[in-house]
């Protein structure tokens, strides 16, 4: 390869896997980081199926496509806001407490969505 890194041989790769499996902390850390992305992707994908039921429950959502788009996209808007404050919160309160706070906020948002009497409440819950 011109100007790049030499190709890794199989022994280097097997040593890397061996070190990863020898240290359960690294595996747990990778799993927890990966599970966050998995859950966010799952939430993004599942909203399309839930939107069918939301449209049945709220007539105005069925009539206005911009309202449907807003409901779907507010999770991403909430992620933008969360990432803006996440670093600051972690610096102030620590990693474990900030994860716990994020979990509680997520749980409250889900309860708000489940009990929503109007579409704007669903939007607030998704943020």
The gap from C-alpha 122 to its chain's centroid, in whole angstroms, comes to 17
Q: What share of the chain is helix, strand, coil (3-state, %, to 5)?
A: 85, 0, 15
Predicted confidence at residue 20, as pLDDT, reads 74
Give residue 3's pLDDT. 62
pLDDT of residue 2: 60
| Per-residue pLDDT at 41 | 84
Rg (CA), the chain: 21
Inter-residue long-range contacts of 48-55, CB under 8 Å, 24+ positions, other chains counted? 48/72, 54/119, 54/122
User: pLDDT 10s per residue in the chain (127 long)?
Assistant: 566 666 667 777 788 777 777 877 877 777 777 887 888 888 888 888 889 999 999 999 889 999 999 999 998 898 898 888 888 998 999 888 888 888 888 889 989 999 999 999 999 999 9
Looking at residue 102, its pLDDT comes to 84
Residue among 118, 121, 125, 124 nearest 60 (CA):
118
């Amino acid at each position: 390869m011109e100007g790049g890194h030499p190709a890794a041989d199989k022994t280097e790769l097997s040593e890397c896997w061996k070190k990863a499996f020898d240290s359960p902390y690294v595996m747990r850390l990778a799993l927890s980081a990966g599970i966050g992305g998995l859950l966010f992707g799952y939430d993004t994908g599942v909203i399309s199926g839930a939107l069918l039921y939301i449209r049945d429950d709220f007539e105005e959502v069925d009539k206005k496509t911009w309202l449907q788009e807003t409901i779907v996209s507010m999770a991403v808007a909430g992620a933008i806001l969360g990432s803006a404050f996440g670093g600051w919160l972690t610096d102030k309160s620590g990693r474990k407490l900030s994860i716990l706070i994020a979990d509680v906020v997520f749980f409250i948002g889900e309860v708000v969505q489940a009990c929503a009497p109007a579409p704007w409440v669903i939007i607030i819950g998704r943020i």
